[in-house]
Amino acid sequence: MGRMSTDLCGIRIDNPIIPASGTFGYGYEFAEWYDINLLGTFSFKGTTRQERFGNPTPRIAECASGMLNAVGLQNPGVDKVISEELPKLKQVFHKPVMANISGFSVDDYVYVSKLLDEQESVGWLEINISCPNVHGGGMSFGTTCEGAYEVIRAVKNECRKPVIAKLSPNVTDIVSIAEACEEAGADGISLINTLLGMRINLRTGKPLLANTTGGLSGPAVFPIAVRMVYQVSKAVHIPVIGMGGVSSAEDVIEMMMAGAAAVEVGAANLADPMACKKIIETLPSVMDRYGIENLSDIIGKA
């Protein structure tokens, strides 16, 4: 494998760049811009048991150094993802893909995970216990060690593919929750999801988002993400996927030095559809600048 390759839960990927769930659709939309097979993999849109329209609009707002979103897991439901989205994806992407899974109960998580675990094109199951924009689900499981353990253990009991727990930064002790996921059998940890935020329209005095609050992403959250990746990677013995405000090759190297085996790119894809392609293309020269022969050598170097 090349100098940018990395191992992700036993599956070798060509490079560590992974577009994050919710920012890359089901891939084929971006395939109109470039050959998405140059990616390490990508995490497709968060999938639930039933179809979801999501939250009312407006549900996206710009802010300094980032954006707020309260999309609310809009998706067609797992049955249509399997019957319609994955066949279209197979036409343009020929590597294992990461399935991002959300739910409102443990049974929901297990049901959706079992169905996607059976799909040949799916390589990893990213269990989203961290969405801040859905009432009564998602983040409610990821804010306690007990809740996180229960979901991950239940999914691991029913699935054979690597299970990656996606964690929320909206907690007081993310390390203990990551350790609970590892104890439950998680094969990897991905973090961070968005930070809960809010903006107000000065003319109306009302929140900019119909949901009132939303998840903050973009460069503003990068230092927090680096800190949490560093802390978690020192505490667990499974791979960590770092994300949160990554927008350049330099950011990727910093995140990997903090302990990430791979790096997800989120909001940058919404600002520039070519963001991941540009990062991958510039990584070798940035590696040369810092005397890095292989990216795998710098994981956890900090």
Encoded tokens for 93: 């992407």
The pLDDT assigned to 143 comes to 87
Whether 88 maps to a domain, the answer reads yes
Domain presence at residue 227: yes
Structure confidence at residue 131 (pLDDT): 62
Helix axes of 249-258 and 222-235: crossing angle, nearest 10 degrees: 30
In the block, which residue shows the tokens 């019957």?
83
pLDDT tens for 76-125 read 999 999 999 999 999 999 999 999 999 989 999 999 999 999 999 999 99
Amino acid at 18: I
User: 115 in a domain, yes or no?
Assistant: yes
Q: How confident is the model at residue 289 (pLDDT cuts 50, 70, 90)?
A: very high
The answer to whether residue 224 is domain-embedded is yes
Q: Which residues contact 232 (CB under 8 A, 6 or more apart)?
A: 167, 174, 175, 178, 189, 191, 240, 259
Note whether residue 181 is domain-resident: yes
pLDDT for 73: 87
What is the value of pTM for the model shown?
0.95
**Does residue 71 lie within any of the structural domains?**
yes
Q: Estimate the crossing angle of helix 174-184 against helix 145-158, to 10 degrees.
A: 30
Model pLDDT for residues 36-45, shown as the tens digit of each residue:
999 999 999 9
How many C-beta neighbours within 10 Å does residue 62 have?
A: 11
CA distance 19 to 212: 27
Q: Of the candidates 203, 62, 190, which has an alpha carbon nearest to the alpha carbon of residue 127? A: 190
User: Is it the case that residue 135 has pLDDT exceeding 50?
Assistant: no
- For residues 236-255, give the mean pLDDT: 98
| The pairing of beta strand 97-101 with beta strand 66-69 | unpaired
Rounded average pLDDT over 162-168: 97
Domain count, the chain: 1
**Quick check: is 18 in a domain?**
yes
Domain extent for 206: 6-298
Q: Say which CATH number the domain at 289 has.
A: 3.20.20.70
Share of residues in the chain with pLDDT > 90 (%): 91
Which are the catalytic amino acids?
131
- pLDDT-derived band at 68 (thresholds 50, 70, 90) equals very high
Q: Is residue 1 in some structural domain?
A: no
